[in-house]
């Protein structure tokens, strides 16, 4: 099968066949990551720029590891040391990096739509590493990969996404991804953190965590996105945690083999207790490990230029 896309911008625009191709390719990449010599020459001669305008631990580090495992030449853009501080625009910055030979640009930006702007204006392949509160495709793809690996199949699973749906790019990408592969998707949180447009997505909306957790196969806990909230959406973190925080007791409502996910960073004691985060049902560190193979697959596919894979 041929991956026809030059860019990976969001899960909304990928169909089930394309998502499965990324996941299948990631399975091969995971096998590379388990070898003694974790390196293949697939991106030898390709320059990849990691253009991060927002902080990141997991996404940035795992893209860099993925690029190095594919033998790419890697440039990490550092915002605080860049000419953006002197007023250079995003587009001018990206065009200059492209003029230096960037074949792939991995971008994280606070502005929703920034990766689409670069894809429209540049010749390089663009991978979205998170744009505002819009999409975070590599996170959703690694979540899908992790769940497919554990459960065997995604179709028919009950997936519950908990918390700050309004500001979460992880929620939006996961909704598209899990729906495309045939899961039932539920969202739950305070009414103020469930956006109105959710009505147009094929998800079930709950306002009580206990109700949403019935028969759940997968629970995705979200961090409260304090950096994207202009005003107060709930009275206090303590109250939020009481109603929407995941404890061992609440988790018993879900299926016995429920998988607990979190994109990180975790706020222990807010969206989930430490005992849940570190329990046997938690797959949080599996998500992080799988992020490398999934990002290798994304880089490989966009750089493969429509070749059969
Ligand atoms: N999940 C995620 O995007 O984490 P980082 O912000 O650390 O990259």
The set of protein residues with a Cβ atom below 6 angstroms from ligand 1 is 56-60, 130, 139, 263-265
The predicted structure's pLDDT at residue 225: 77
pLDDT tens column, 155-197: 999 999 999 999 999 999 999 999 999 999 999 999 999 999 8
pLDDT tens column, 3-35: 999 999 999 999 999 999 999 999 999 999 999
- Does 262 reside within a domain? yes
Determine the Cα–Cα distance for residues 40 and 148; give it in Å rounded to an integer. 25
Tell the residue nearest (CA) to atom 5 of ligand 1.
Answer: 56
Q: Is the pLDDT at 293 greater than 70, yes or no?
A: yes
Give the distance (Å) from ligand 1 centre to CA of residue 109: 12
Closest by Cα among 308, 264, 291 to 106: 291
- Does 210 reside within a domain? yes
Residues 154 and 102 in one domain: no
The predicted structure's pLDDT at residue 2: 85
Determine the Cα–Cα distance for residues 97 and 309; give it in Å rounded to an integer. 28
Determine the Cα–Cα distance for residues 173 and 134; give it in Å rounded to an integer. 8
Q: Is the pLDDT at 233 greater than 90, yes or no?
A: no
- Does 5 reside within a domain? no
Q: What CATH number should be reported for the domain holding residue 300?
A: 3.40.50.1370
Residues 261 and 142 in one domain: yes
Give the distance (Å) from ligand 1 centre to CA of residue 170: 10
* pTM attached to this predicted model: 0.96
Q: How confident is the model at residue 226 (pLDDT cuts 50, 70, 90)?
A: confident
In contact, 248 and 190? CB cutoff 8 Å: no
**What is the total count of domains within the chain?**
2
The predicted structure's pLDDT at residue 153: 97
Q: Is the pLDDT at 211 greater than 90, yes or no?
A: yes
Question: Could you check whether the bond before residue 101 is cis, i.e. omega within 30 degrees of 0?
Answer: no
Determine the Cα–Cα distance for residues 124 and 307; give it in Å rounded to an integer. 17
For 37, other C-beta atoms within 10 Å of its C-beta total 7
Residues 65 and 104 in one domain: yes
Which ligand 1 atom sits closest to the C-alpha of 54? 6
Residues 284 and 296 in one domain: no
Q: How confident is the model at residue 205 (pLDDT cuts 50, 70, 90)?
A: very high
Residues 182 and 100 in one domain: no
Give the distance (Å) from ligand 1 centre to CA of residue 305: 28
Determine the Cα–Cα distance for residues 53 and 238; give it in Å rounded to an integer. 31
Range of the domain at 104: 16-135+291-304
Tell the residue nearest (CA) to atom 3 of ligand 1.
Answer: 59
Q: Angle of helix 137-151 relative to helix 58-69, nearest 10 degrees? A: 80
Residue to substitute in 54, 59, 66 for testing ligand 1 pocket (most ligand atoms within 8 angstroms of CB): 59
The predicted structure's pLDDT at residue 61: 98
Q: Is the pLDDT at 231 greater than 70, yes or no?
A: no
Determine the Cα–Cα distance for residues 115 and 232; give it in Å rounded to an integer. 29
- Does 2 reside within a domain? no
Closest by Cα among 297, 293, 305, 300 to 5: 305
Give the distance (Å) from ligand 1 centre to CA of residue 58: 5
- Does 9 reside within a domain? no
Report which DSSP code applies to 151: H
Q: How confident is the model at residue 79 (pLDDT cuts 50, 70, 90)?
A: very high
Among the ranges given (124-138, 240-254, 295-309), the one the predictor scored with the smallest mean pLDDT: 295-309
Q: How confident is the model at residue 235 (pLDDT cuts 50, 70, 90)?
A: confident
Which ligand 1 atom sits closest to the C-alpha of 139? 1
- Does 148 reside within a domain? yes
Mean pLDDT of the chain: 95
Average pLDDT of the residues in 72-90: 95
| Residue 52 C-beta-side C-alpha neighbours within 13 Å | 15
Report which DSSP code applies to 258: P
Average pLDDT of the residues in 225-252: 85
Residues 145 and 123 in one domain: no
- Does 142 reside within a domain? yes
Which ligand 1 atom sits closest to the C-alpha of 263? 1
């Amino acid at each position: 099968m041929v991956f026809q896309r030059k860019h990976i911008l969001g899960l909304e625009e990928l169909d089930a066949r394309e998502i499965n191709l990324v996941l299948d390719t990631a399975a091969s990449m995971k096998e590379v990551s388990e070898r003694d010599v974790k390196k293949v020459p697939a991106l030898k001669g390709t320059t990849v720029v990691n253009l991060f305008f927002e902080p990141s631990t997991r996404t940035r580090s795992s893209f860099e590891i993925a690029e190095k495992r594919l033998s790419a030449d890697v440039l990490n853009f550092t915002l605080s040391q860049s000419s953006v501080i002197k007023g250079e625009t995003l587009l001018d910055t990206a065009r200059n990096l492209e003029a230096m030979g960037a074949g792939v640009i991995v971008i994280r930006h606070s502005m929703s739509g920034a990766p689409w702007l670069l894809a429209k204006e540049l010749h390089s392949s663009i991978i979205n590493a998170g744009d505002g509160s819009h999409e975070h495709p590599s996170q959703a793809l690694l979540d899908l990969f992790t769940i497919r690996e554990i459960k065997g199949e995604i179709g028919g699973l009950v997936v519950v996404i908990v918390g700050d749906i309004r500001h979460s790019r992880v929620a939006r990408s996961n909704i598209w991804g899990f729906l495309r592969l045939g899961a039932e998707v539920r969202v739950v949180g305070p009414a103020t953190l469930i956006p109105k447009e959710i009505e147009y997505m094929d998800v079930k909306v709950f306002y009580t965590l206990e109700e949403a957790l019935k028969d759940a196969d997968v629970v995705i806990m979200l961090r409260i996105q304090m950096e994207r909230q202009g005003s107060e959406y709930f009275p206090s973190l303590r109250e939020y945690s009481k109603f929407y925080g995941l404890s061992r007791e609440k988790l018993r409502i879900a299926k016995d083999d429920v998988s607990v996910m979190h994109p990180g960073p975790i706020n222990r004691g807010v969206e989930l207790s430490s005992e849940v985060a570190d329990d046997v049902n938690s797959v949080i560190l599996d998500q992080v490990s799988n992020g490398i193979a999934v990002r290798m697959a994304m880089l490989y596919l966009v750089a493969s230029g429509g070749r059969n894979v």
